[in-house]
Amino acid sequence: MSDRSAWTSRVGFILAAVGSAVGLGNIWSFPFRTASNGGAAFLVVYLVAVFLIGFPAMMIEFVIGRRGEQNPVHAFDRIGHGNWSFVGGLGAFTSFVTLAFYSVVGGWVFSYIAGSATGAYFGDPAAYFGSVASGPIAIGAHALFMAVTVGIVALGVTDGIERATKFMIPGIFVLLIGLGVWAATLPGASAGYSYYLTPDFGTIVNNFGSIVPPAMGQAFFTLSLGFSVMIAYSSYLDRDDSLPADGGAIVVINTLVAVLAGFVVFPVLFATGGAEGATGGSGTAFVALAGAFGEVPGGQVLGLLFFVVLLFAALSSSISLLEVPVSFVTEQYGVSRAKGSLGMGTAVLLVGVPAALGTNYLTFYNDVVFNLLLPIVVFLLAAFTWFSGRDIVDELQRGTSLGETFPTVWLWWVRLVVPVAVAVTLYLGVKGLYTGLTNGTYF
Ligand code: PHE
């Protein structure tokens, strides 16, 4: 324990975990998934998924991490269940694959910051996206994004991760609130709000199969669940903090940022054509928003601010994605933090190159993570609770004033409800992946 650097404070941990949770998922993919999946109907399913499935499942990673006090692979050894280490390993692998395409999108954000500053995307947003999304510029920007990520992780938990997120998270909030106030003055505001906030329960029922997998995948992704990230972060945590309280704060703040991003994106979209502008995948998000910034008054400055927020959010997430495999190689093979970060970062860079060569490949990486890896890891975590004994209940209780009841209800909830919900998601997700593979969506 002595050579493991730990969070300097509880707030430091919460902010770093929030930094991991708040990312491209909240500000970029959440509003656009919501827009293309029926608006408020999606929002309702998503919120249910976050609070009833995601939050309890997050507690599983927390108890394993804090009790194990090790990287996600060894944590299972330390709590006496070494044969489950592969689950931590699979989560770390998921982090690795995710960072490979996440960093490509992070690179796009760099290009959009440049494009906002120079006004390059105003004339023809679709052409601009085409020129930066794949090809040499995309590879260069991906490399730049990875370089910054490696730099922060190499500095370590306190000097790098904690310090960086302490500065970025409040910045994200201030900028998003400012942008939300501005967006409220746009002509599309009320139409945007009503699409975003007035759920039509008929839509939910009729589109259950097509809404549930993306809503659930989005819930896991946004909470950084199933990546072993929360195992790694909570391993640096103090014994006497309340895990449910910390987790609750993280989930609430993370949800606020996503919902707030919707308050920016929906008025902007409806000022320039409505939700249809957002359907059709990763690229349209950038094209639709950039196009909207090109049309509204003050769009250049606002666009710049928006993409800077997005960059902060993306970086505070990417460092957590890299931290997981790095903490493993440093502890397992005694490699220095600097070398481990550089080596892993280079590997991620190379694996991400195909995603920077074609958005179809990027979509493939994305769907493998959302539809397959995440539900599998979360399912395995839930399965683990059948074998872990009451230890995890004691760990959840430690540092709280909770009696027996709540932790016991939690145990049965993650044993019974969570796996069923995740199994349904996995089934639908694999079906979607198979369809994509057979109808040529990816290759
Ligand atoms: N939660 C991040 C987001 O919403 C993505 C992420 C997942 C980051 C896992 C780190 C680990 O963008």
Domains and CATH numbers, the chain: 10-358 (1.10.4160.10)
pLDDT of residue 251 exceeding 90, the answer is yes
pLDDT of residue 419 exceeding 50, the answer is yes
Distance from the CA of 26 to the center of ligand 1, in angstroms? Answer: 9
Please tell me the pTM assigned to this model. Answer: 0.93
Please write the tens of the pLDDT for every residue from 219-228.
999 999 999 9
pLDDT interval class at 289 (50, 70, 90)? confident
pLDDT of residue 164 exceeding 50, the answer is yes
Distance from the CA of 173 to the center of ligand 1, in angstroms? Answer: 17
pLDDT for the residue numbered 278: 61
Distance from the CA of 104 to the center of ligand 1, in angstroms? Answer: 14
* Separation CA 436–CA 148 (nearest Å): 33
Given the CA of residue 23, which atom of ligand 1 is nearest to it?
A: 12
pLDDT of residue 206 exceeding 60, the answer is yes
pLDDT for the residue numbered 203: 85
* Separation CA 268–CA 17 (nearest Å): 29
Query: Does 103 sit in the ligand 1 pocket, CB within 6 Å?
Result: no
* Separation CA 143–CA 137 (nearest Å): 10
pLDDT of residue 284 exceeding 90, the answer is no
> Cβ distance 104 to 124 under 8 Å?
no
pLDDT for the residue numbered 322: 94
Distance from the CA of 223 to the center of ligand 1, in angstroms? Answer: 7
pLDDT for the residue numbered 156: 77
Distance from the CA of 23 to the center of ligand 1, in angstroms? Answer: 6
Query: Does 320 sit in the ligand 1 pocket, CB within 6 Å?
Result: yes
Per mean pLDDT, which range of 72-86, 109-123, 197-211 is the poorest?
A: 197-211
Distance from the CA of 219 to the center of ligand 1, in angstroms? Answer: 10
CA torsion 329→354→282→209, rounded to 10°? -80
pLDDT interval class at 16 (50, 70, 90)? confident
Q: Which residue has the tokens 């796996």?
A: 419
DSSP 8-state symbol, 370: I
Query: Does 218 sit in the ligand 1 pocket, CB within 6 Å?
Result: no
Please write the tens of the pLDDT for every residue from 104-132.
999 999 999 999 999 999 989 989 999 99
pLDDT for the residue numbered 281: 59
Average pLDDT of the chain to the nearest whole number: 90
Given the CA of residue 229, which atom of ligand 1 is nearest to it?
A: 11
Please write the tens of the pLDDT for every residue from 51-64.
999 999 999 999 99
Please write the tens of the pLDDT for every residue from 138-152.
999 999 999 999 999
pLDDT of residue 269 exceeding 90, the answer is no
The residue whose CA has the least distance to atom 7 of ligand 1 is: 224
Q: Give the length of the chain.
A: 443
| Highest mean pLDDT of the ranges 180-184, 211-215, 411-415 | 411-415
Q: Which residues contact 378 (CB under 8 A, 6 or more apart)?
A: 57, 220, 225, 226, 418, 422
Tell me whether residue 430 is exposed, middle or buried, using C-beta atoms within 10 angstroms of its C-beta: 0 to 12, 13 to 18, 19 or more: middle
Per mean pLDDT, which range of 115-124, 201-210, 376-385 is the poorest?
A: 201-210
> Cβ distance 132 to 125 under 8 Å?
no
Pocket mutation for ligand 1, best pick of 221, 230, 250 (most atoms within 8 Å of C-beta): 221
124-154: b or e for each residue (b if 16 or more CB lie within 10 Å)? ebeebbebbbbeebbbebbbebbebbbbbbb
Query: Does 265 sit in the ligand 1 pocket, CB within 6 Å?
Result: no
pLDDT of residue 3 exceeding 50, the answer is no
Q: Is 358 helix (H, G, I), strand (E, B) or coil?
A: coil
pLDDT interval class at 2 (50, 70, 90)? very low
pLDDT for the residue numbered 168: 79
The residue whose CA has the least distance to atom 11 of ligand 1 is: 224
